[in-house]
Amino acid sequence: MDYTGIVIFFMEVILMALENWRFIETEPLDAYTNMAVDHAILESVAKGESPPTIRFYRWHPPGVTIGYFQKANKEIDIDACQKNGVDVVRRLTGGRTVLHQHELTYSVIAPENHPKVTGTILESYLAISRGLLFGLENLGVKGQLVNGAESKRKGTAACFDAPSWYELVVDNKKIIGSAQTRKQGALLQHGSILIELDNNLLFNILKFSSDKVRRAARERFKGKAISLAEVMERVPDYSQVVQAFNDGLSKGLDINLSDGKLNDSEKQLTEELEVGKYRTDQWNYKR
């Protein structure tokens, strides 16, 4: 007996029972536009004009994002960033400095009282991190959820210098770093999934008191962060990584992701936020 039709039927029933979220994959964008898009979706979801959304994106040129509370001129060598063609932008979320280059960046945006992500910040971190863990498993990578207080050891301004609550590590090295904020009743969590890692560029654009301190920090960092390429012993195809984490987040959050795109109001708000906020020195440097 051929059970193919029965299997397909039950799969369709299961998908119909799952809640639909919007999935957006955008082309590589500069740092200012990427942050404006996340912010625009956040505001649209907060107003009830857009559904819960997961976005995957990339960066061109490379970008450095600093946490909401960081002081750019204290942490970042702005001249070195300009020399190396690296954009600098402040995130809406907290946390430390992240170099965005060879990675898949994700964002999860939903009402903060949505049952899939409801609860405290730590509880919602856990829910999303489970999906990320499934994504790693889909690539054959054995990851672990860090479950403990944020490291108190002295480190650098770099986000991947130490794992915090419910972030993912492989061999005790951070492979995915995330940050979250809540605004007007909606939640935004975004993070970096390292495909490759350029330690030299990262430590060339961070500020240090001396080259000796810089070299020592770079050496320590090698034991604290790891990329998919290092773990898999090859550089995975970007589309493979996208599919793995699309499936992983769908499973972890128990949702169905439907391909979508920005609506007209989100596009307009993105343009306004990019020009009026994320490209301005007032936002990026004068805090």
pLDDT of residue 122: 87
pLDDT of residue 162: 44
pLDDT of residue 105: 99
pLDDT in tens, 195-212: 999 889 999 999 999 999
* CATH code for the part of the protein at 19-284: 3.30.930.10
**Whats the size of the chain, residue-wise?**
287
Task: Please state, in angstroms and as integers, the Cα–Cα distance from residue 223 to each residue in 62, 67, 169, 220, following that order.
Answer: 23, 23, 12, 6
Closest-CA residue to 42 (of 31, 52, 29): 52
Closest-CA residue to 156 (of 92, 220, 210): 220
221 vs 198: CA distance, rounded Å: 11
The strand ranges marked E within the chain are 19-25, 53-57, 63-66, 87-90, 98-100, 103-111, 144-145, 168-170, 173-183, 186-194, 255-259
pLDDT of residue 146: 82
pLDDT of residue 152: 44
pLDDT of residue 90: 98
Options 159, 195, 197, 217, the catalytic residue: 159
Place of tokens 């969590």: 189
Please confirm, yes or no, whether 159 is among the known catalytic residues.
Answer: yes
pLDDT in tens, 90-101: 999 998 899 999
pTM over 0.85: yes
pLDDT of residue 96: 87
pLDDT of residue 12: 53
98-100 and 63-66 as β-strands: parallel, antiparallel, unpaired?
Answer: antiparallel
| Residues of the chain scoring pLDDT < 50 | 10, 13-15, 150-155, 157-163
